[in-house]
Amino acid sequence: MINPVTNSTQTQPATPKAAPPAPKAEPKAHPVAKDIVQLSNAGQAAFQEATETAVQTAKEAQSGDHQAQRLLAKESAAKEAATPSVGKEIV
């Protein structure tokens, strides 16, 4: 005859303890290559002209700067060409 088992306990497999997390290694900063640029006097003048404001250009044109006068004339012509003419007859 078979006797039923009445007192059984289930056991779970033993899990190994988790290892403590390894400290994260901080990435080492690599030195960044730096380029040094030296502009000639002509290059510096060109840079200054390219970055000046419209107010500076207008002041220079009023004081007789021919380059500033040409730039203002060029900008004025471009603005006039881009603006549709009202009241002008196209021939």
Query: What whole-number percentage of the chain has pLDDT above 70?
Result: 64
> What pLDDT is stored for residue 18 in this prediction?
64
**66-82 and 54-62 helices, crossing angle to 10°:** 120
- DSSP character string of 58-87: HHHHHTT-HHHHHHHHHHHHHHHHHSPPSS
Is the separation of the CB atoms in 61 and 69 below 8 Å?
A: yes
- Between residues 1 and 42, which one has the greater pLDDT? 42
> Model pTM?
0.45
Show me where the domains of the chain are located. Answer: 43-82
pLDDT category of residue 1 using cuts at 50, 70 and 90? low
| Rounded CA separation 33/78 (Å) | 43
Q: Which residues, in sequence order, are CB contacts of 61 under 8 Å at separation 6+?
A: 68, 69, 71, 72
